[in-house]
Amino acid sequence: MIKKRIIYFDCFSGISGDMILGAFANVGIDFQDITKQLKSLDVKGYKLQSRDVKKNGINGCKVDVVINKSSKKDKTIRTFKVIKTIIQKSDLPHSVKSNSVEIFRRLGNAEAKVHGTSIDKIHFHEVGAIDSIIDIVGGSLCMSLLNVDHVISSSINTGEGIVKSEHGNLPIPAPATIELLKGIPCYSKGTKKELTTPTGAAFIGHFAKKFGSLPDMNITSIGYGAGESEIKEMPNLLRIVVGETFNSFHDKSMKIIETNIDDMNPEFYDYVIGRLFKQGAVDVFFTPVHMKKNRIGFLLSVIVPNESFDEIVNIILSETTTFGIRYYDINRVIISRRRELVKTQFGNVYIKIGERSGMALSVSPEYEECKKIASKKGIPIKTEYEEMLGAYKKKEG
């Protein structure tokens, strides 16, 4: 059985860029190595510093991106495109660059939605851009240095109240933060502080593939990253727990719901599938079966998270002709997946990449992307499919 490395983010006091870097430095990653590798970014006018601090009696590390006085006066703005170029032109490992760009894309898309514009029109003032670049790229670098197989996070403590920003006073969580927390378990317990920032939300939303309690693991190291504020209710720290397991790693437990159907208009199936996926089904599929009296029918199978079970059952019973369903618990083993933008002669398109232990095991172009370009350019879809695969292989060398 293969030994696997796990990192658990314990966000009992939220998560932010400085807390992420502090926790990684505290867990044992060489801070000088982080600083040295970040110098390959074309970002000037800052200094990265770390110091030991205590929060409610617990030792932790505080990392600060100290901006030079001249840079503070600089009114230069940076768009997502500019920041992406800075990252991609660095000498950092490919995985670090790819993860950093995707985190910035998350951040930019959230800001764009909140402000009613596009990601291309979102910009970062010089000071904010430096902080964000160093926090995000530095955090992605540390993830690469730890070489973990699985990333899990607790629910996210957001804090509450009001925070001052360049747009005026905003509610906590800030609009961009709460947009980034969609689909992620989060809560607040009355702390009148911004505990989770957009950078922290974008980072954990990108890396964590599961949210819940501390998993079954042999703990090897623990790190505490400090936030700026002092909080009476709890230590203002992000805790990361690194460990190993020999157990086969499963996604969270789910259910399969099944039912046999032989008397339903097949035209209705497409509508039913759409409703099931919209309600949270992970997968929906039909299997041809021979039923009683030798009638041809279909076995409808739906994989669902436990929290979506009741809603999915209601859809099946109301939208199909079945009189009942059966179900059973399952576990899944999955590989991590991400999307990457690839440049082809027909335009920029996304491909899906499935990874395990940092190695790409599956690469497949997005069907809808191929379909859209093939229709627009008047070319066979298989031509665009092959072009995308070729462009990715060339990019990876």
pLDDT of 392 > 80? The answer is: no
**pLDDT, mean of residues 159-167:** 81
Cβ contact 221:242 at 8 Å: yes
DSSP assignment string, 202-234: HHHHHH-SEESSPPS-EEEEEEEEE-SS--SSS
pLDDT of 83 > 90? The answer is: yes
Q: Give residue 370's pLDDT.
A: 80
Residue with tokens 């996070």: 153
pLDDT of 303 > 90? The answer is: yes
Q: Does domain 251-332 have CATH number 3.30.70.1380?
A: yes
Q: Give residue 250's pLDDT.
A: 52
Look over the chain and give the mean of its residue pLDDT values, rounded to a whole number: 88
The full 3-state SS of 241-262, as one line of letters, equals EEEEECCCCCEEEEEEEEEEEC
**pLDDT, mean of residues 109-120:** 89
Q: Each residue of 25-76: pLDDT tens digit?
A: 999 999 999 999 999 999 988 999 999 999 999 999 999 999 887 666 666 6
Residue with tokens 């460990």: 243
The CATH class of the 336-396 domain is: alpha beta
- Provide, rounded to the nearest whole percent, the portion of the chain with pLDDT above 90: 55
Q: Each residue of 253-285: pLDDT tens digit?
A: 789 999 999 989 988 999 999 999 988 899 999
| β-strand partners of 245 | 4
Q: Give residue 40's pLDDT.
A: 95
- Provide, rounded to the nearest whole percent, the portion of the chain with pLDDT above 70: 92
In angstroms, what CA-CA distances link 67 with 86, 99, 131, 165? 18, 24, 8, 18
Phi, psi of 152 (to 5 degrees): -125, 150
d(CA 374, CA 230): 56
Sign of CA dihedral 313, 331, 148, 213: positive
Name the 3-class secondary structure at 191: coil
Q: Each residue of 345-357: pLDDT tens digit?
A: 777 777 778 776 6
Instruction: Locate CATH 3.10.20.300 in the chain.
Output: 336-396
Q: Give residue 1's pLDDT.
A: 47
Instruction: Locate CATH 3.30.70.1380 in the chain.
Output: 251-332
Q: Each residue of 195-252: pLDDT tens digit?
A: 999 999 999 999 998 888 898 889 999 999 999 999 988 999 999 999 988 655 455 6
Q: Each residue of 304-323: pLDDT tens digit?
A: 988 889 999 999 999 999 99
Q: Give residue 125's pLDDT.
A: 54
| Spatial CA neighbour of 157 closest among 204, 209, 195, 183 | 195
Sign of CA dihedral 100, 157, 147, 34: positive
Cβ contact 71:126 at 8 Å: yes
Q: How far apart are the first and last CA of the chain?
A: 32
pTM: 0.65
Name the 3-class secondary structure at 188: coil
Residue 201 burial (CB < 10 Å; 0-12/13-18/19+)? buried
Joined together, the tokens standing for residue 195 give 């505990």
In angstroms, what CA-CA distances link 95 with 17, 195, 355? 19, 28, 11
Cβ contact 236:12 at 8 Å: no
